[in-house]
A and B are shown apart, each in its own frame.
Chain A
Amino acid sequence: MPRTPPTPPRLRVRGLTRRFGDVDVVKDLDLDLPAGGALALVGRNGAGKSTVLRCVSAAEVPTAGTVELDGAPVDERSARTRRDMAVVMDDLDFFPDLSVVEHLDLFARAHGVPDAEAVVDAVLHEVGLVPQSAQLPGTLSSGQRRRLALASAFVRPRRLLVLDEPEARLDRAGVAWLVDRLRREKADGLGILLASHDADLVAAVADSVLDLDRVP
């Protein structure tokens, strides 16, 4: 009887090392994240959480190590990686003359989402930015900008969500919505890799926690 090959984890990281000058910010890190799983990176400031996320999302080239998404190497230049991995970091910038809804519409269309308008409207409603949909990003509060950044991850197809402190600058209701949303993402079979300082969010969402302060 033929044996089915084992399904690779959604995300596999092996020997990830990132060195800045003489300092190893991340050294020889291994991690696996199954489909429908959520892994939270925790640790003090400077422990390397964001660096790991940047290397995983190929925003930064690791000094050594490999990162695979569904068994294929992550390469930011490949359309497949960009289509399958939704990343929300703290460095989102905006077109000054495009409104909130136009940013999301552009992003959805760029990802070839069918019926982009309906998807964008639904996500706008969910993140609570309907009243601000015609506003230009320069007039948004920092919390609203954060909501817009998170919305950008939900208007597009994805298999893995990479989130750097997604709760930052969100109010209590916003964090509650985020927890609910991430749980639904997991239920839909997506993988979630996040870095956070919010113990409640981590406890509510993550199946496993990697404390970078304790990585040898």
Chain B
Amino acid sequence: MTVVGGSPGADLRDLRRQVRVWRRGRADTRLVDAIGDAYIAVFATAMLTSMAVSVVVNVRAVADTCTSVACTDARAALPWLTGLALVAGTLGVAGLLGPLLVSPAVGSWLLPAPVDRRALLRPRLAGTAAVALAVGAVVAVAVSALSGFPATSVLAYGGCVGAACVLAVGVAAESQARRLRRLGLLTRTLAALVWAGLVALTADAVPAPAAAPRTGWVPVLVTVAALAVAALALAYADLTRLSRDRLAPGGSLLPGLSGALAGLDLALVEDVLVERRWRARSTVRPVRGRGVGGAALVWRELVRLRRNPRALVVLLAALVVPYLGGSLGLGRADLLVAAATGFLAGIGLFSSLRVLTRTPGLVRCLPLGAAAVRSACVSVPAAVVLCWALGAEPALRAAAGLAPADAVPLAVAVAVTAVTAVVRFVTGRPPDYRLPLVTSPMGAVPTSLYVSAARGFDVLLLGSAPLLLAPTATGAVISLALDGIVLAVLLGRP
């Protein structure tokens, strides 16, 4: 039978209605369960919101007692830098996922049909804009409240940042439809501005703290909101320009990210993003190997570092954090901040260790023991993190008031703690569903699921504790000893 008929475009509402009819009675949740889930969701939201408000109020009360120049500078600059960071983050996430995307099934069964693409994508554009508005406004309200803004300014500032995030979504959607390549550049520029602001704050180069403006918000809010509406209107008009190859990648990325997040496997999230980045790059210039055995692996790490300087740039940019901590007067807590920064910013350097962990067959292909292979893979990134920590040594010395003889060992201990935390993070195994399950609001989950979320952070605290308790060479030695034991276990296990 050859089909010859067919209208130029089916009515999407009819299709949706038909799908609803098919799906009726197939729900896998009973009404009682749904009401129970809703009750838990509402109760949890109310509880978390009240906790967040309480934290903001208390922290603000504490912050009000801070009168040093650095502290007041930081409080004055914090909302503005956060607003900029939120817009940059919105652009980054929007560029990563689309911002408009369709699920793989919709991509297979509805996009190839002559249905009205604007009608199909309109709710997705509206939903994305609503999420951006809510997240941007809520975070901006919390941060501006912390910074001592008056109540009306807090609300107005939240509205401005929320609208700016919607504007970012509109710009990203337009860029997606028109295949503009400048979105990444814009995102990086905004991120660089945030970084420059942090550097200026560290160097006390920020002008005298201005009090939060009490008036003049209305024209700003109206302007940003008008721009956001205009950007959304433009994006809406161009929804028909969106082709399948622009909509499908985000949809195929999302299930991987959702699955990784559902398993609280943050390392897997990193894997998904790294794989996508390399697939987009497509080809590289081949470089011949050098050395034999472990030396060949070390050489390959050097090649990898040169091939992917992004990870190095991120780590170098993060050097501002310990200095900022110092200028904010964090004291010895700056050691923990430095170790955490080295941990989080250093993850990208350890990609080959992650690959070897995910594919143990690869290790078996090499004529070296597992410990030797892992050690070779860790050597170059660990050396980079060590250099980074030595670069942060002046900040640590000033922040914690360390003696010069103690500062270098402490910086080394910070580096080794960060490296150990990264190794713990990237060598983690996925949750084991064969283990005993415990009940939770999410259903039955294995106990190792909770460990997944804390992986890396646990070792970070373990290695940092001696540094915080005794910021001396002795503390550094104890920390190094603890890290050494953990590293030996992690790198040496079969």
Residues of A within 8 A of B (CB): 20-23, 58-61, 75-77, 79-80, 82-83, 87, 91-99, 102-103, 105-114, 119, 122-123, 126, 152, 154-158, 184-185, 188, 190
Contacts and interface: CB of A to CB of B under 8 A. Distances in A.
B282 A21 contact: yes
B27 to A, nearest CB: 9
Contact of A97 (B9, B18, B23, B103): B23
Contacts of A83: 6, 8, 114
Given A119-B1, A156-B113, A109 B18 contact: yes
Nearest to B26: A97
B108 A92 contact: yes
A103 B22 CA distance: 10
Given A80-B114, A109-B14, 16 more contacts: A21-B281, A22-B283, A23-B283, A58-B243, A77-B241, A79-B9, A91-B108, A93-B104, A106-B15, A106-B18, A109-B10, A110-B109, A112-B114, A113-B3, A114-B5, A152-B109
B110 interface: yes
Given A77-B117, A112-B114, A103 B109 contact: yes
A111 B109 CA distance: 10
B10 to A, nearest CB: 5
A96 B5 CA distance: 29
Nearest to A184: B2
A184 B145 CA distance: 72
10 contacts: A80-B8, A91-B108, A96-B105, A110-B10, A110-B114, A112-B10, A113-B3, A122-B1, A157-B3, A190-B2
Contacts of B9: 79, 112
B292 interface: no
A61 B110 CA distance: 20
A184 B114 CA distance: 25
A94 B3 contact: no
A181 to B, nearest CB: 10
Contacts of A105: 18
B278 to A, nearest CB: 11
Given A98-B22, A112-B7, A76 B283 contact: no
| Residue with the highest number of chain A CB atoms closer than 10 Å, among B23, B114, B117, B243 | B114
B4 interface: yes
B229 to A, nearest CB: 25
Contacts of A109: 10, 14-15, 18
Contacts of B243: 58, 61, 75-77
B6 A111 contact: yes
Nearest to A107: B109
Interface in B276-305: 281-284
A111 B244 contact: no
Given A21-B282, A92-B108, A94-B108, A113 B5 contact: yes
A111 B10 contact: yes
A122 B1 CA distance: 7
A42 B359 CA distance: 34
A112 B3 contact: no
Interface string B8-21: 11100011001100
Contact of A82 (B2, B7, B112, B241): B112
A87 B111 CA distance: 12
Given A156-B6, A157-B5, A188-B2, A87 B114 contact: no
Interface in B89-115: 103-105, 107-115
Residue of B6, B105, B110, B111 with most chain A CB atoms under a 10 A cut-off: B6
B3 A59 contact: no
Contacts of B283: 20-23
Nearest to A118: B1
B108 A113 contact: no
B160 interface: no
Contacts of B4: 157
B275 interface: no
B107 A93 contact: yes
Contacts of A20: 282-283
Nearest to B244: A76
Given A59-B244, A59-B245, A92-B108, A110 B26 contact: no
A97 B107 CA distance: 16
Contacts of B104: 93
Nearest to A93: B104
A133 to B, nearest CB: 13
Interface in B231-288: 240-245, 281-284
Nearest to A105: B18
A42 B114 CA distance: 30
B281 to A, nearest CB: 7
Scoring B108, B110, B111, B282 by chain A CB atoms within 10 A of each residue's CB, the highest score goes to B108
Contact of B22 (A22, A59, A102): A102
Nearest to A125: B1
Contact of B113 (A21, A111, A185): A111
Contacts of A185: 2
A108 B421 CA distance: 54
Interface in B211-235: none
Interface in B24-54: 26
A82 B113 contact: yes
B14 A93 contact: no
Contacts of A155: 3
A190 B23 CA distance: 35
Contacts of A126: 1
Contact of A79 (B3, B22, B114, B244): B114
Contact of A76 (B5, B7, B10, B245): B245
A26 B108 CA distance: 25
A151 B112 CA distance: 14
Contacts of A111: 3, 6-7, 10, 113-114
The winner among B5, B113, B242, B243 for most chain A CB atoms within 10 A is B113
B24 to A, nearest CB: 11
A189 to B, nearest CB: 9
Q: Which 3 A-B pairs have the closest CB atoms?
A: A21-B283, A112-B7, A110-B113
A78 B454 CA distance: 49
Contacts of A107: 109, 113
Contacts of B7: 111-112
Nearest to A101: B22
A160 to B, nearest CB: 13
